[in-house]
Structure formats: C-alpha cells, structure tokens
Chains A and B, each alone.
Chain A
C-alpha cells in the first residue's frame, strides 16, 4: 500500500479489485460517498495508523468499493500526531474535498482537536479508535459516533481483572498526558486493592530503567500500564530483560498486533484488554483476519478491526437511507441502527453513540505459524456500557 496519496484514492477503478464499478469524477457531487480517513502515518506511532487505514480499506474492498451501493472515494489524512496539523488538514478535507464522513483517528487528543470543525460542519465523525470520556457524557454529540469503545471501559476491564485475580498491591505506570491519567482513573474505578505507586513517564521516554528499578523496589503483585505503540515496544522488552516478567504485566494498548512484531517472545503471556481479538470465532471475523493477512501480510490489531467495522457500518447506514446523505436526521438514525455484522459478533450503540459490548481479557500467544497475536482468555464484562452514558442528553435538532 505504499503509494497512496493523501487525496483522491479512487477505489472505484479496476486497479485494486478489477470490479466493474465506474470511476468517480472528482467534484461531481452526490454520485458517490467521499470519506476523510484520519490516521497517524508519520513518526513513532505510525504503525497504529497503518493498521487503522488498512482495516478500513479492506472493509471497502470487501464491499467492492461501494458504500450502500454508491461508489466510495477515500481521502487519506496523515495527522502526524500533531493536533493543530490534524485540524488544518481535516478543515481542508471538509472545505476543499467536501467529504461526507470523517472516519478514523487513533489518539484522543487528535479527536478532541478535530471534533469541533467536523461536527460544526454537520458532518458525521466516526471514531474507529479514540474514545475519550469527554464526548461520552455531557459532551456527547449528535454528529459523533465511535465504533471502538470508551477509553475508560478498556482500562476498567484491567481493574476488574486485577480484582478478580486477587492482586492486592498494584503498581501503576502511564505516560504523562491526559489519556495516561484517564487510564489510571479507569483502572482505579474497578480496582479495590492498594495502589503501591503511580508513575507518570515522559511521553518521549526512551529508557525505562529508572521506572523499572522503582517497580522492582516496590515489589507489587502486578503492574498495570498503558504505553501505546513504540513506548510499549521499549517497555515490554526492557521489562523482560530486567527479569521482572514474573510480576504479572496487565496492560492496555501496550501489547497488541501493532507492537508484537517488534516485541515477539518478550511479550509472551502478557495481558491486555480489548473488545476484540484476532482469534474470535465468528465467520465475519475469520474472513476479515484471513483476507487482511493475505492482503497486507501482517496480523491485524483492534485498530484495523474497528475500522473494518466502520466501513460496514457506513455501508449499512447509506443503504438504509437509499443513498440520500443530505437528510442528516435520517442518516443519524441509520447509523445508530448499526445494522451490520461486526467482527466482534454483536454490536450496538448506546444512547451516547458509544458501543455497548462485551469486554475481554486477552493474552499474548504465539500461533503455530510463528506469528504473535493476542487471544481471548475470558469475558470480563458483559454487554458493558460506559459509565458516562447516563450523563448524555443527546441534542438532536
């Protein structure tokens, strides 16, 4: 997928699939659906954005590059993980490219930055990863949906799991930014034991030895951490090298298919929490994982799965309104219906447009073919709604 331009990835043509869909002429409105796909594609966290982008594009490919019967065009936007850059580029997509939907976004701070420009343009914003609490409660928005989770849900799963496993003294460590502080709050919301210490590591930490020494000195029953992307790669390998692996490693977004190719054996047996894992046993997931690996030659992570779901969600919604994208209220109802088959099995939205779903404890395993993936251990929370939904009074015009 090397040569994709930021603009005008025309999926209707014969180039990708050989399908018969007619090419879309730019600027010809209403003939198709145009999507701004926001993902971080440069810098240390680019692997996550690549998963997200490829997952969505595979979804479109399975739909023969049509959403609800209309030819689809994707504008890929690299947010560079810099909020003000994201705002600027998303504005361009709205004003110049006139996109009908903005989809994607890996990190919460990017989502918070693009939220206002997108929703004020009465355009639907579908997050396929970031799910901050800010927009789940009183800040919920009629033009915002997420196909992933509320961040707190995932972290609280680990709190619940630590509680269930009988860990009494837990050491908490996250990066020093808002999402890191939210992770700790989420974990604490279900964990009743003692928090030995909380450490906030700088976002650009290269060497965790100082933190690891503190963990060893504290002798906790378990470590809870949230270190996305490259941070996680470094931490997991150094944790194993420091001989700390006998302390259970409970994590969120730290060991997943985006980082496992670099962590490999070092992450074996480490825990994570997620609404989805590659080994989930349902036909649509099997097709998704198999085709994804065939197309891109790596194991998909949840970023890819949630984006794949988003493509199918949009397909179902556009079909439900018969391709009429101008009636926003009808379109909103159609999205809310979530009438598609998710790779998670079942899927539905709560009143705040966040998913109500089962949450799983997962563990890193090596597959027979030598690749690494997370696999479900047990269902920790069933049909779980995030704690903020009750505060949401959705203003629908």
Chain B
C-alpha cells in the first residue's frame, strides 16, 4: 500500500470517527450528566435522517431539511422525555435499558408504518456537492470535509457550553451531585429535561448530516448505536473530550483495519483465506480494542472529572 493511499485511508478513518462523534456526543452527555442509559439514541438518530430527507424533499433542498429537522427532533425529544424518560431518572440502569428498548421497538416500527420500507434519499447541499482530487482518480467529496468541520465545531461548542456557561456549570454540578444541586434551589428536573432534549437534537443533527452519504433505511440506527456506546465507554463516560478522541480512534481502527487486515493476513495465509479472515478480524478489531482498553483502564481513556 502506498503512503498516499494510507494517508487517504487515515482521512477516511478520521471522517468516519467524526460521524461517530456526532452520534456519541448526545449519548455521552445524557449518560454522563443524568446517569441515564438511553438505548433509544440510535432511533433518534434515524428519526433525524428520515425527517431531514422528508423535509428536504418537501421544502426543496438540504438546508431546509436540516433547518426543519432540528426543531422537530427537539420537539420529539421533549415529548419522549415527558412521556417516558422522566419517570425513569431515579430507576436503576436495567429499567432504563428495558424501557428505552421499548422505545426502539415503537419508533423503528413507526418509521416503517409511516415511510414504508424503501430507503429514502437526501440530496447533497448544492454548495458542497463538489469534490477535491486527493489522489489520481479519487475525489474527496467537499461534503465530507463539511462533516469534519461540523464535528470539530460541535466539539468546540459543547466544550464552551459545558465549561463556560451557567447552565454548563449546573450540568457539571448536577452530574457529580444531583441532590446537592437540587437542595440549592435549582430545578434539577428541568435541567435534565433540557439536557435530554438537547441530546435528542444532537442525535437528529447527526442523522441529518449522515443522510446524504449513507442510506436512510429502517433500522439504520441500531448498529451505529452499539458503536456509539463503544466510543463513549472507551472515551470515559460523560467526557466530551473523551468521546471525540475515542470516536476518532474507533474510526481509524475500523477504517484502517478494513484496508490493512487482509494485506496483513496475507503474510500468514493464502490470498483468498487471508481476505476472508482479514475481513472477519477487521470487524472484530474495535471490540478487541475496547476489551483491551477496559481490561487495563476500566474508567476509559479520558474519564470525566465528575466521575
């Protein structure tokens, strides 16, 4: 493999990592602040993609899709919080897992009932539809660079919100000692509602951003949800910085693993067996990495200060 190809693959890995970060950011916020395991985060991501594609087709263009999908996912997040999640804050993790799994079933089936089973398409924004030649014969879509930028901006924004605003201070305080914050006269329930709805909107944002390059289809959030959990656990639960770092790490491992493993296995096996074994091993690589990291550093790579 040439150095040039390796460079392109690394860029691909980073870009996939940023996409993972977009999904994981909301998850780690809700998990870290509210100590709430929200399995339904994946379907909220899917809803974002479906709503974005629908609004884009209806109002004409990507930007309208994004603009309309964000408040809608926020509203759905608020509704879900009111209906289901707020009754689960003081329950154990297992109850949360079970109830949010129920939400997954409902939303997955609901999406199928409303939109049918055929995949949808979301157009690329006109201004970002071009490509940059990175190596001969291969264009790097500008839109993917935009995703990179969106991820970096989001990371910065979250960092600012959490570290430098009053709400952020409350959020941090609430994460480390919720009863104490409540005793100080802060409406912790309302704080949680805000954080949760914001997390839902982040998931929706990730969905809209992913829609033009991935397939908008039923169940699209399920496999990504597991990867997002891997990301936040490796990164250290509740840590935005950790989520960013580990998302990039997971993206790199997954992408480079896919492209290097088959070649690596060729050193030991005959070509066709090497390709298949390499592909299987590449799928496993992320999980092997997670098991190894957790075995050595159970709190993740960048544990949040709040614990």
- Chains A and B directly touch (beta carbon < 8 Å): yes
The interface of chain A, by Cβ under 8 A from chain B, is 2, 41-44, 46-47, 49-50, 176, 181, 198-202, 204, 206-207, 209-214, 216-217, 219, 229-231, 233-234, 237-238, 241-244, 247, 258-259, 261-264, 298
Closest 7 CB pairs of A and B: A243-B139, A216-B138, A46-B117, A233-B215, A262-B119, A209-B12, A262-B121
A201-B139 in contact (CB<8A): no
Given A42-B219, A213-B12, A241-B131, the answer on whether A207 and B214 have CB atoms closer than 8 Å is: yes
Please, how many residues of chain B have a CB less than 8 angstroms from a CB on the other chain? 54
Residue of A nearest to B223 (CB): A204
- Chain A nearest CB from B243 CB (Å) reads 18
| CB < 8 Å neighbour of B275 from A44, A198, A204, A237 | A198
Cα–Cα, bound, A44→B15 (Å)? 23
Residues in B whose Cβ lies below 8 Å from that of A298 = 118
Residues in A whose Cβ lies below 8 Å from that of B124 = 241
- Chain B nearest CB from A198 CB (Å) reads 6
B258-A43 in contact (CB<8A): no
Mask: chain B, 116-138; 1 = CB below 8 Å from A; 0 = not: 11111100100000010101111
Given A46-B218, A210-B259, the answer on whether A176 and B213 have CB atoms closer than 8 Å is: no
| CB < 8 Å neighbour of A41 from B117, B141, B212 | B117
Q: Which of B160-168, B198-206, B276-284 contacts the other chain?
A: B276-284
B279-A176 in contact (CB<8A): yes
Residues in A whose Cβ lies below 8 Å from that of B224 = 206
The interface of chain B, by Cβ under 8 A from chain A, is 2, 4-5, 8-9, 12-13, 15-16, 19, 108, 112-113, 116-121, 124, 131, 133, 135-141, 143-144, 212-220, 223-224, 255-256, 258-259, 262, 272, 275-276, 279-280, 282-283
Cα–Cα, bound, A237→B79 (Å)? 34
Given A202-B283, A216-B136, the answer on whether A44 and B12 have CB atoms closer than 8 Å is: no
A233-B119 in contact (CB<8A): yes
- Chain A nearest CB from B48 CB (Å) reads 15
Cα–Cα, bound, A263→B118 (Å)? 11
- Known contacts A202-B283, A258-B118; 6 further A-B pairs (Cβ under 8 A): A2-B113, A42-B219, A216-B138, A229-B217, A244-B137, A262-B217
A241-B213 in contact (CB<8A): yes
A217-B118 in contact (CB<8A): no
B117-A201 in contact (CB<8A): no
Given A44-B220, A233-B215, A234-B215, the answer on whether A261 and B118 have CB atoms closer than 8 Å is: yes
- Chain A nearest CB from B274 CB (Å) reads 10
| 7 chain-A/chain-B pairs, Cβ below 8 angstroms | A2-B113, A198-B275, A209-B16, A234-B214, A242-B138, A247-B137, A262-B120
Residues in B whose Cβ lies below 8 Å from that of A50 = 116-118
B213-A237 in contact (CB<8A): yes
Cα–Cα, bound, A363→B140 (Å)? 26
Residues in B whose Cβ lies below 8 Å from that of A233 = 119, 121, 215, 217
| CB < 8 Å neighbour of B121 from A44, A243, A263 | A263
Residues in B whose Cβ lies below 8 Å from that of A198 = 272, 275
Cα–Cα, bound, A243→B2 (Å)? 20
| CB < 8 Å neighbour of A217 from B2, B19, B144 | B2
- Chain A nearest CB from B183 CB (Å) reads 45
- Chain A nearest CB from B6 CB (Å) reads 10
Residues in B whose Cβ lies below 8 Å from that of A43 = 218-219
Residues in A whose Cβ lies below 8 Å from that of B116 = 47, 50
B15-A209 in contact (CB<8A): yes
Residues in B whose Cβ lies below 8 Å from that of A214 = 5, 259
A206-B214 in contact (CB<8A): yes
- Chain B nearest CB from A181 CB (Å) reads 8
Residues in B whose Cβ lies below 8 Å from that of A210 = 9, 12-13, 255-256, 258-259
- Chain A nearest CB from B272 CB (Å) reads 8
Residues in B whose Cβ lies below 8 Å from that of A176 = 276, 279-280
Residues in B whose Cβ lies below 8 Å from that of A263 = 121
B215-A262 in contact (CB<8A): yes
